[in-house]
């Protein structure tokens, strides 16, 4: 069947009242946690993972995807009104957005962010619709060797290329792979890294690690910071509308942002930081009024916010088409597939076509819902920013505890949760990225499985990874990603010395 | 580049090397399986090697002056103590502590232990309204319990308050 027919079938699934309800719940929860500083989609989806035992996969993924998209919308509200970005990809939005709010143009900033998110989110979803199938058709030719090499490339890009330091990113990745190995090895039945603790035989649940790092670690960190007077969200003095001038200055940055964000998000490296910064600098160059940048230029909100949402959509392409998670949130969603016993990978689209197309259709619907939730109803979310910190973090800990304790009613899980929280605290202190831990934990065992299958095919010879052209190409890309940046910066610093 | 060693970063690196040693010891304890071509210990050895390698690199970076991070912030130790107390009390109270036949700490259940944790957390974040915090924590814990145990069907278990719900 053609893509359009598939999509129409997806809409038939997504438009049933029960799935519309899940979508609405998802985007509302997503917006809420996006608005609240310190909460993110990875943490929220992890806490909700146990519902996979109660509802059918389509409903669960519509809910999760709604949370994922909603958090992107909500994050921009916080970064415009509070100047403390809820999630890292919103940092750029706060550069100009907060300045606009200080000049009494909060309404226009919120409007261009929300409409830009809608435009880019929809372009991104159209991208998923048409790119997913070709990617799948290409990936169906992959054998275990190609898969293993692709995963190695993904490991290197998410931990070594993104972020401040390759060494610290890779350290975090290896810690995550260690956590992923704990428990019974599926192939040999041997116990690994259980240290004699019975509760570890089934492995560590990804809920424990995600909630520990993102909820407990974050709470410990914020408690340790010196207490300043709480920042009040800026009042919205103007109406939530854009003037004709605002529209004229916004629409091109929206489109450009979406066209930058989607492809970068869809690459095996993922990440929203690069496209948002890229969009910001492009808009600054192209603006008719570059002097306004730094004082609240609307293009500086419209472009990066669009890039952010389009890259979030892009991340779903490798996740759905290849089973390759390139962000912490995608890794948690991938573990939801596993808990349904669904094998993520290129065969997903043919074996679970209804699920995937229903999910894609619900992304279109969710975007429309989010536009309504974030434009006329934005005042509702702003009220959430007035929750005092003592009550909010107390509440976060209650939900983190019940979500973890509820898995198996074991205090061992809680001890692990709090210990991983302490680890998260020190990772924050010494500037280690946390996403590679989650990605290593989920993707590590999958990489091992492909490695074993490839070695069985090749009868124990490593040459299989270098003899298959595509596998060799992916490994060469990996090497380039690993050694390219240091060589580049070395050459640049040498040139600078030579030039001086 | 500053060549003055940075002690904390060096310690982070050495800690990772120590952690790698523990992982290596645990890897050595994995029995080999004759069935698989790639045994269960192969990837764990690779992980051990990676941890040793990057731990050493971190230690070397530490000796060469360390890296950029939150260096100067003075941590609020009083807050951390409150928060730590809240987490530990929750661990002790939620299921109780037994040593053989004797009960050292009675099981009070999720709702009360979470109320205590909420109270301590609020203190850690500078709240000075103990009665309000206690009441809100108690209410929120009941909401969470009813939502997760009764609506979503998790098994949170019973306790002093739970039995009346």
Q: A17: how many CB neighbours lie within 10 A of its CB? A: 7
Shortest distance between the Cα of A79 and any Cα of chain B, in A, equals 22
Distance CA B133, CA A225 (A): 21
Domain map of chain B by residue range?
Answer: 7-63, 77-164
Nearest to A389 among B118, B125, B145 (CB): B125
Distance CA A37, CA A39 (A): 6
**Helix (H) or strand (E) run with residue B98 in it:** strand B97-99
pLDDT of residue B35: 60
| pLDDT exceeds 60 at position A85 | no
Instruction: Confirm if A151 and A460 have CB atoms less than 8 A apart.
Output: no
> Half-sphere exposure of residue A142, counting CA atoms within 13 Å on the CB side?
26
pLDDT of residue B69: 87
pLDDT of residue A89: 66
Query: Where is average pLDDT lowest: A89-98, A202-211, A416-425?
Result: A89-98
Q: Does A21 touch chain B (CB under 8 A)?
A: no
Q: Which residue of A has its CA nearest to B12?
A: A430
CB contact (8 A) between residue A391 and residue B133? yes
Q: In terms of Cα–Cα distance, which of A460, A478, A437, A31 is closest to A208?
A: A437
| pLDDT exceeds 60 at position B139 | yes
pLDDT of residue A500: 44
Characterize A447-480 residue by residue with b for buried, 16 or more Cβ atoms within 10 angstroms of its Cβ, and e for exposed: bbbbbbbbbeebeeeeebbeebeebeebbebbee
Q: Does A451 touch chain B (CB under 8 A)?
A: yes
Instruction: Confirm if A94 and A85 have CB atoms less than 8 A apart.
Output: yes
Spell out which residues of chain A touch residue B73, defining contact as CB-CB under 8 Å.
225-226
Instruction: Confirm if A260 and A282 have CB atoms less than 8 A apart.
Output: yes
pLDDT of residue B125: 93
| pLDDT exceeds 50 at position A98 | yes
pLDDT band at A493 (very low <50, low <70, confident <90, very high): confident
**Reported pTM:** 0.91
Q: Does B137 touch chain A (CB under 8 A)?
A: yes
Query: Where is average pLDDT lowest: A6-10, A75-79, A483-487?
Result: A483-487
Characterize A161-179 residue by residue with b for buried, 16 or more Cβ atoms within 10 angstroms of its Cβ, and e for exposed: bbbebbbbbbbbbbbbbbb
pLDDT of residue A426: 95
Distance CA B79, CA B86 (A): 11
| pLDDT exceeds 60 at position A305 | yes
| pLDDT exceeds 60 at position A313 | yes
Of A162-176, A263-277, A486-500, B11-25, highest mean pLDDT: B11-25
Mean pLDDT within B57-83: 91
> Half-sphere exposure of residue A383, counting CA atoms within 13 Å on the CB side?
4
Distance CA A485, CA A470 (A): 23
Q: What percent of chain A has pLDDT over 90?
A: 61
Name the 3-class secondary structure at B103. Answer: strand
């Amino acid at each position: 069947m053609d893509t359009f027919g598939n999509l129409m079938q997806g809409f038939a699934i997504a438009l049933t009242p029960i799935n519309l309800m899940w979508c609405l719940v998802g985007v509302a929860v997503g917006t809420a946690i996006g608005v609240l500083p310190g909460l993110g989609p990875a943490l929220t989806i992890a806490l909700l993972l146990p519902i996979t035992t109660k509802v059918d996969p389509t409903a669960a993924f519509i809910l999760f995807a709604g949370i994922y998209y909603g958090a992107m919308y909500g994050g921009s509200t916080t970064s415009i009104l509070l100047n403390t970005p809820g999630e890292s990809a919103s940092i750029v939005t706060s550069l100009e957005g907060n300045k606009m709010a200080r000049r009494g143009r909060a309404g226009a900033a919120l409007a261009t962010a929300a409409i830009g998110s809608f435009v880019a989110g929809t372009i991104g979803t159209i991208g998923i619709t048409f790119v997913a199938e070709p990617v799948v058709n290409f990936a169906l030719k992959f054998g275990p060797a190609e898969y293993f090499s692709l995963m190695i490339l993904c490991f290197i890009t998410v931990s070594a290329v993104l972020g401040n330091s390759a060494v610290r990113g890779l350290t975090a990745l290896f810690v995550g792979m260690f956590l992923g190995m704990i428990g019974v090895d599926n192939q040999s039945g041997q116990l690994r890294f259980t240290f004699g603790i019975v509760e570890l035989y089934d492995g560590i649940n990804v809920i424990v690690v995600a909630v520990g790092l993102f909820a407990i670690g974050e709470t410990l960190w914020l408690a340790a910071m010196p207490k300043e007077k709480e920042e009040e969200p800026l009042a919205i003095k103007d109406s939530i509308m854009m003037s004709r001038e605002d529209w004229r200055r916004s629409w091109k940055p929206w489109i450009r942002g979406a066209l930058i964000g989607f492809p970068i998000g869809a690459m095996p490296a993922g990440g929203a930081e690069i496209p948002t910064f890229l969009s910001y600098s492009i808009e600054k160059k192209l603006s008719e009024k570059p002097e306004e940048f730094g004082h609240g230029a609307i293009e500086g909100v419209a472009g990066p916010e669009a890039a952010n949402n389009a890259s979030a959509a892009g991340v779903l392409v490798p996740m759905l088409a290849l089973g390759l998670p390139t962000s912490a949130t995608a890794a948690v969603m991938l573990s939801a597939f596993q808990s349904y016993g669904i094998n993520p990978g290129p065969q997903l689209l043919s074996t679970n076509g209804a699920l995937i197309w229903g999910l894609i259709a619900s992304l279109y619907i969710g975007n429309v819902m989010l536009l309504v939730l974030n434009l006329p109803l934005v005042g509702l979310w702003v009220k959430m920013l007035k929750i005092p910190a003592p009550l909010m973090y107390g509440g976060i800990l209650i939900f983190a505890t019940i979500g973890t304790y509820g898995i198996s009613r074991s205090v061992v899980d809680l001890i692990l949760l709090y210990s991983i929280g302490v680890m998260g605290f020190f990772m924050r202190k010494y500037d280690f990225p946390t996403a590679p831990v989650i990605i290593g934990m989920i993707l590590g065992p999958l990489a091992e499985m492909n490695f074993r299958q490839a070695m069985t095919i090749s009868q124990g010879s490593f040459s299989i990874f270098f003899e298959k052209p595509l596998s060799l190409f992916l490994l060469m890309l990996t090497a380039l990603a690993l050694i390219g940046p240091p060589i580049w910066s070395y050459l640049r610093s040498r040139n600078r010395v030579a030039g001086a | 580049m500053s060549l003055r060693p940075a002690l904390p970063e060096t310690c982070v690196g050495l800690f990772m090397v120590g952690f790698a040693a523990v992982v290596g010891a645990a890897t050595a304890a994995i029995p080999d399986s004759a069935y698989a071509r790639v045994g269960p210990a192969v990837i764990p050895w690779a992980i051990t090697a990676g941890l040793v390698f990057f731990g050493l690199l971190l230690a070397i970076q530490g000796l060469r002056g360390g890296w950029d991070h939150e260096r100067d912030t003075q941590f609020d130790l009083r807050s951390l103590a409150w928060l730590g107390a809240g987490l530990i009390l929750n661990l002790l109270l939620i299921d109780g502590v037994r040593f053989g036949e004797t009960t050292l700490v009675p099981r009070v259940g999720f709702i009360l232990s979470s109320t205590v944790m909420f109270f301590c957390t609020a203190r850690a974040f500078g709240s000075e309204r103990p009665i309000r915090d206690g009441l809100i924590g108690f209410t929120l814990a009941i909401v969470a319990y009813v939502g997760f145990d009764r609506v979503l069907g998790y098994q949170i278990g019973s306790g002093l308050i739970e039995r009346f719900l």
